[in-house]
Every structure is written in structure tokens, then in C-alpha cells.
Structure 1
Amino acid sequence: MSELLSPEPALDSPIVFVDLETTGGSTSEHRITEIGVVEVGLAGVSRWSSLIDPQQPIPSFIQQLTGITNDMVRGAPTFESIAPALFERLNGKLFVAHNANFDRGFLRSEFRRAGIAFDPDVLCTVRLSRALFPGEKRHGLDALVERHALVPSDRHRALADADLIWQFWQRLPTLVPLEALRAQIERTTRRYRLAGDITEDLLDTAPAGCGVYAFYGEDDAPLYVGRSVRVRQRLRSHLTGERRSSKDMRLAQLVRRVEWHATGGELGAMLAEAQWIATLRPGHNRLPRVTKSDPANAPWPFEGPIVFEEREDAQGIFHVVDRWRYLGHASSLVAAAQLHASTLAGSFELSTYRILQSHLARGLRVMPLSVSRDSPESSIVA
């Protein structure tokens, strides 16, 4: 099979086809034993591979599968020793692998141990094959070899398997119209590094549970505010998900910064979202539609500020509302009173009014909040 001197059918960037062999399947417990890279760009095709000393024994069944023994890796370089040069080889290129989450996950963990952040754009050829050939049931590397007449040289060795992925890539333009292929590659590619400082490592610090988030663009202009019961997962869906809508993909291209707050519950997330939208007025959110029946103001049915409690992971969160304005949440009633005392009074918010009216009608239990900073007393109001 002749080798192309350009990275067709990719879009604009050079490509690395990568395969790893490891001591097992856990990125926290196991280590890499071999790396194989086929690098493809306008300058041509180059190949590189190296055994890696995993600094732990290779299980016997792994030795039988890969042919890589403890004797073979003894004296090989450690990952830390090759990390800077390997990063230069991979950085800035589309990372293509078969079952790419495995290879990317191991490399990301190893690079992190070496003090290097590794967040390439990733294309998984298992997922690409499933998308392009939905009538086929099997999409493992052996199935691709059989189905597309690929030529294996040494299965379960890193460079040989990376070369099979490269062969599959070259075969695709003969099987799928190029424009359709390019479009599917774009849909399947997961872009982990975005503009600004947004990386997968940053998204890992987002709340796993309920919360509100905001995207900002150039000059810190607010773009979009959203909420979710799983903020971290929702952010990944917006920014790196394979099944993003065209709207999400256009929005992701504009994002330069993201912020979030955990809210401790879904109702708190709804109120925080409404408050952020009213304050930030982001360009990609619809402002609430005002009807003739909506009040421009409404009497506050309580004598003063109120709190209600939500629980997430057995920890209580107290949400503070005053005169139809959501002020935020706190971890205790004392902190809630301090939050109220330190927050300037605002104007009537229609969205907050609608949300609270609906939940109060369904029996939301609230407590009057004492404004004392010392020991606020509270009693349940039905």
C-alpha cells in the first residue's frame, strides 16, 4: 500500500497514529511497556517506537499476549526520561488511536506524573468505524484487518498496531466519499484543549453534581449560562462531546473562559441560573418572555429573607432569597445570615419569582432567616 505524503483524509493538522502496550488496564495502577507512533504530515511519514521500563513486573498473561517480557524492558528508558521528547513528537497533532480513551488515558496519566499537561485532540478509530460502517457488528482491530485487507506485521506490538491504524486511515477515502468522511471525522474528534486555559484537567475540577456554569468569550464577554445536575459531564458535552449540536460546536469555538458554582441541589441551580442570566445577560441565552399577566413587581409574602435547604451527598446547603431575588447559598444558617448581610439588595427578578412561586405552590418548605450574625433562630414555615 503506497503511503500518502499528506494527512488525508484529515482536515488541516498533522496526525500521529499511536498504540501502547501496558502492564494492565488501570491508569492508576499499571504502566506503559511500549509506545509506537506513526507520524504523518506534509513532510511525509515517520515511525518511532520504544520499549519503556514500567518499573513494575509485567503479568505473565500480558507477556504471552504482547511478547514483551520483563527481561526486554529491563534497562529500557523510563517514561519520565523520554517524556519531554515524546511530548514534542505528539504535541499539536491530531491523536488517532484504536480505543483511544485507553491510549490517551495512559499517556495523560504518565505525562501528569512527569509534570506535563497532555490534552490533544483525539480521534478514536473504533468510533469512527462504527459511524462509517453501522451495518458491521465488529470494529476491533482484528475485524478491521479482515474487513479492509490490512497487512499486519506483529499484532499486539505497539508500532505494528499503530501502523495498522494508519493503513485503515489510508483505506477510508476509497470506501467513503471524501466530504462525508471529513464531516464524520470532525464529528467524531474530541477536542480536549480549547481556547484560553480550558483543558480536560480544568474540567476535572468542575462539580460532579448540581450547579450553574457560565462561558465567556473574547474580552470576557458573557456568552452562555447553563445549569445541570451533573455539571462536569454537561461541560464536557458542551465542549468536547462527540454528539454536540451545531449550536454547541459554534459556541465552543467562541469560549475563552468558564466558571461554575456547585449549588447543592437542582432548585438552587435553577435559581442561580436565573440570577446569573439576569445579571450577566449573556448573548446566547434567551431572556424570559414577559407576558401581560406577569407582574412588573410582586409583594413579598414573608416578613423578611427566607432560606430553604437542599441536600446533596448528605450535606445540607441553605439557599437565601429576599424579595424575589436569589442571593446565593451557604453551608449553615450562620453563614446564610452573613451572606444576606453582605449582599446588596437588588430589584425584582421575574424568573426567580416564577420558579419560587411554582415550588411554593408545590409545598416547598422555607424558613425565615434572622439577620443576626451571631446565632440566627429559625422556625419552619409551611
Structure 2
Amino acid sequence: MLPTVSNLYCAEPLVFVDLETTGGSLGVHRITEIGVVEVGPAGVTQWSSLVNPQQPIPFFIQQLTGISDSMVRDAPTFDVIAHDLLARLDGRLFVAHNARFDHGFLRSEFKRHGIRFQPDVLCTVQLSRAIYPTERRHGLDALIERHALVPFARHRALADADLLWQFWQHLHNAHSADILRGHIDQVTRRFRLAGDIDEDTIERIPAGCGVYVFYGENDVPLYVGRSVRLRQRVRAHLTGMKRSAKEQRLAELVRRVEWTGTGGEIGAMLEEGRSIARLGPAHNRVSKARRDDPRGAPWTHPGAIAIEEADATTGARVWHVVDGWQFFGTATSLDEAARLRSSAALAVFELSTYRILSERLSRGLKIVPLGVAMLVGAESA
């Protein structure tokens, strides 16, 4: 006997969603059909609508879904149903198979019409992999076969959404609530993040190397970190994916995030050290003094230098400006690097910069003396 609906909605209402589209490319293809199964303490309701995509449906898509141009010709366009659809989805856990696809298409359509759409998302492909790690196939056809689900019209939106609801019921019948809750928490992607941080904020963060700073109430610095995948790392901090208890406590305090793209890993290390020393964030480990720490070690170059590094994402070159064991920042050209140094005050010894460069400068880093760079710039002008 299946558990009751009141035991199935996991302390938050659910929507099982499936879309049919004219193709698989966001920004190019459009939605042709939407199916929604709403599940909550009040029970289960179903809703679906064809959607006029305002573009032709490719023949092979028509063959797959059975949805033809003539079927959608008089259907409402997305803007007509947008607010009614949002009312059904808003405030509910968004459950879909290959959820990135369905969520991405809907988010793009809502955004096109000036509507913000950022539900928490649960992918049933990831959930199936988490619960059945020894199985190789986790597509919808595999779930139908493995769990005796009953399709009534494959590749139609409401029918496929109903299959996900059937799968959800099967899981709650086959596994304990505690086990399921752990897997669901693990794979759910939380888009309601922290303070003023939302998914739009996260999307503005560079994908490559850089440094991030979390701030709490009253703009108190909490934590400085670096990553070679900056956007991914910040999102992981805040979305509950594989976090430790310490990271969970930190995430609950975060209200704002700042970031600096550094192009390469050396720049990220230098920027992280400088930011920790400048901000003194409460959740960073304090660097302990060592016996061999220098007290104002002599600078080993006649003046400022620019350390050249390739941007790990784009391949473009960047230059990290250092003088007197102080890091002044990252520039995208040697002219900019020279201006960055000339506009700053006298260099101050930074222990973090000394430690990083004393280890790394002997490893073949490409160094340009900024005095030479300024001369070259003046001659070319």
C-alpha cells in the first residue's frame, strides 16, 4: 500500500514538471507543451497546456512527441499562461527528470517576459543515481522498466510528469523516510540562497579562477576563499550540496558576496592572502607565525614586477603586480599593470605574498620588470 499524500510532500509542496520543446537549445528553441502535477497537503492536482512556440516544430520532434504545428497554432503563447503557471509553481520544490533542461527553459521563458523564477530544484535522474548507485541507466524509460511505472502517453508533458509522481510514490514505498530525506537533501539544488544573493548574482560570478568574500549582518567579513571554479564554488557553499557542519553554519550567516576574477591560480592565491590580511574574516584559519618567518625580507628585484599568467578559462594573459613583497592587484595589460603600481603608495611587506612567491618564483614563472614595461609603453606612445 502506498503512503498517503501527507507523508509524501517532504515538509514542502512539490510540483512534478515536464516540458516538450522544439529542440534542446536554450535561447533558440521554445516550449510546445507544459505538464504539471501538484502535490501538497491538500492533495494532488494536474494541469497541462499546449504552448504556441511561435516557430516551426522540426519534423523529428513532431514524430517523437506527436505534437504538430497545427496542434499548437491556436494554443496560447507563453506570455498568456505565464502568471497562471507561476502561481502553480511558486513556493514549491520543482521536480523534473534532467531538471536542468526543464528548469532552464522555464526560467528563460519567464525571464523573457520580465518574471523572476527561481524555485529550488530536484532532479530525479540525480535522485535515482543516489539511491540506486549500482544501476547504469537512469533515463525515464529505464525507470519505467525497473520500477513498473505505468506510462499513458510517453513524450507528452503531463504523462511524463505523472511518471515522476509515480516514481516518487514508489521511492516512499520502497525506502525509509530518513534514507530518502538524506538523498533528497543531497541532490536538491537550492536557488533561494542567502541574504541578497540569488541565482542571478551567482551567474555574474566568473566561472574561472578567483577569490570570493562572504559578508554577514552589518557587512561584517565572514570568510575569504579562492577557487579555480569560482562560480561553482560559491554556489556549492550556499546551496547545501555536500556541505560540512562548519560550512552549513557559515552559509546560514551569509548575507552578501563579493568576488574578484584573477585569471589564474597564482593570482587567486595572492588575492586571497591580501584579502584575509586586510579584512580579518572570523571564519578563516589564522596563519600561525613560524620561526623562519622573515621580518621585512629584502625585495629581490630592482622594482615592481608583473607576473604573467594565462587565464585558465579564456587563455587570455593577465599580469599580477607585486613590489616589495606586496601584491597590488591583477591587470589585463602591461600598461594597466604599470598604472596599477604607479597609482599606489609605497610597498608594505605582506607575509602571505612572501610565502607564496618565495615558493613559486623558483618554478619558472614568467616575470616582467614593470620599469621596462613602462619604458616600452612610453616609447610606443
Q: Specify whether residues 159 and 346 from structure 1 end up closer, same or farther in structure 2 by C-alpha distance, changes over 3 A only.
A: same
Corresponding residue of 1:272: 271
Corresponding residue of 1:256: 255
Corresponding residue of 1:210: 209
Corresponding residue of 2:165: 166
Aligned residue pairs, count:
377
**What is the Cα deviation at residue 271 of structure 1?**
0.5
Q: Specify whether residues 32 and 365 from structure 1 end up closer, same or farther in structure 2 by C-alpha distance, changes over 3 A only.
A: closer
**What is the Cα deviation at residue 27 of structure 1?**
1.6
Corresponding residue of 1:6: 6
Would you say the 8 A contact 2:16–2:161 is kept in 1?
Answer: yes
Distance 2:333 2:29 in 1: 43
Q: Specify whether residues 364 and 153 from structure 1 end up closer, same or farther in structure 2 by C-alpha distance, changes over 3 A only.
A: closer
Q: Specify whether residues 270 and 154 from structure 1 end up closer, same or farther in structure 2 by C-alpha distance, changes over 3 A only.
A: same
- Give the structure with the higher percent helix: 2
Q: Specify whether residues 334 and 296 from structure 1 end up closer, same or farther in structure 2 by C-alpha distance, changes over 3 A only.
A: same
Amino acid at match of 2:308: E
Residue-by-residue CA offset, 1:5-48 (whole Å, 9 max, x unaligned): 426252x3211111111111112221111111111112222211
Distance 1:144 1:227 in 2: 40
Distance 1:190 1:41 in 2: 20
Corresponding residue of 1:352: 353
Where in structure 2 are there 5+ consecutive unaligned residues?
none
**What is the Cα deviation at residue 307 of structure 1?**
2.3
**What is the Cα deviation at residue 212 of structure 1?**
1.5
Q: How does 1:99-110 map to 2 (within 5 A)?
A: 99-110=98-109
CA RMSD of aligned residues (A): 2.5
Q: Specify whether residues 14 and 369 from structure 1 end up closer, same or farther in structure 2 by C-alpha distance, changes over 3 A only.
A: same
Is the deviation greater in 101-110 or in 201-210?
201-210
TM-score scaled by structure 2? 0.90
Corresponding residue of 2:143: 144
Q: Specify whether residues 56 and 304 from structure 1 end up closer, same or farther in structure 2 by C-alpha distance, changes over 3 A only.
A: same
Is the deviation greater in 81-90 or in 302-311?
302-311
Corresponding residue of 1:325: 326
Distance 2:142 2:298 in 1: 69
Amino acid at match of 1:310: E
Q: How does 1:223-302 map to 2 (within 5 A)?
A: 223-240=222-239, 242-302=241-301
Distance 1:77 1:345 in 2: 66
Distance 2:65 2:15 in 1: 22
Distance 1:242 1:46 in 2: 30
Distance 2:120 2:55 in 1: 30
Would you say the 8 A contact 2:97–2:140 is kept in 1?
Answer: yes
Q: How does 1:43-82 map to 2 (within 5 A)?
A: 43-82=42-81
Is the deviation greater in 54-63 or in 1-10?
1-10
Where in structure 1 are there 5+ consecutive unaligned residues?
none
Q: Specify whether residues 314 and 154 from structure 1 end up closer, same or farther in structure 2 by C-alpha distance, changes over 3 A only.
A: closer
Q: Specify whether residues 144 and 366 from structure 1 end up closer, same or farther in structure 2 by C-alpha distance, changes over 3 A only.
A: closer
Would you say the 8 A contact 1:369–1:377 is kept in 2?
Answer: no
Distance 1:197 1:262 in 2: 20
Distance 2:4 2:363 in 1: 65
Corresponding residue of 1:135: 134
Would you say the 8 A contact 1:36–1:50 is kept in 2?
Answer: yes
Residue-by-residue CA offset, 1:119-172 (whole Å, 9 max, x unaligned): 211101111111112233322222222332323222221112111211211222
Q: Specify whether residues 119 and 7 from structure 1 end up closer, same or farther in structure 2 by C-alpha distance, changes over 3 A only.
A: farther
Distance 1:109 1:307 in 2: 42
Corresponding residue of 2:15: 16
**What is the Cα deviation at residue 247 of structure 1?**
4.0
**What is the Cα deviation at residue 347 of structure 1?**
4.0
Amino acid at match of 2:261: A
Distance 1:162 1:363 in 2: 56
Would you say the 8 A contact 2:2–2:170 is kept in 1?
Answer: no
Would you say the 8 A contact 1:9–1:181 is kept in 2?
Answer: no
Is the deviation greater in 228-237 or in 369-378?
369-378
Distance 2:50 2:373 in 1: 67
Q: Specify whether residues 39 and 208 from structure 1 end up closer, same or farther in structure 2 by C-alpha distance, changes over 3 A only.
A: same
Aligned identity (percent) is 62
Amino acid at match of 1:279: R
**What is the Cα deviation at residue 178 of structure 1?**
0.8
Q: Specify whether residues 62 and 326 from structure 1 end up closer, same or farther in structure 2 by C-alpha distance, changes over 3 A only.
A: same
Would you say the 8 A contact 2:17–2:94 is kept in 1?
Answer: yes
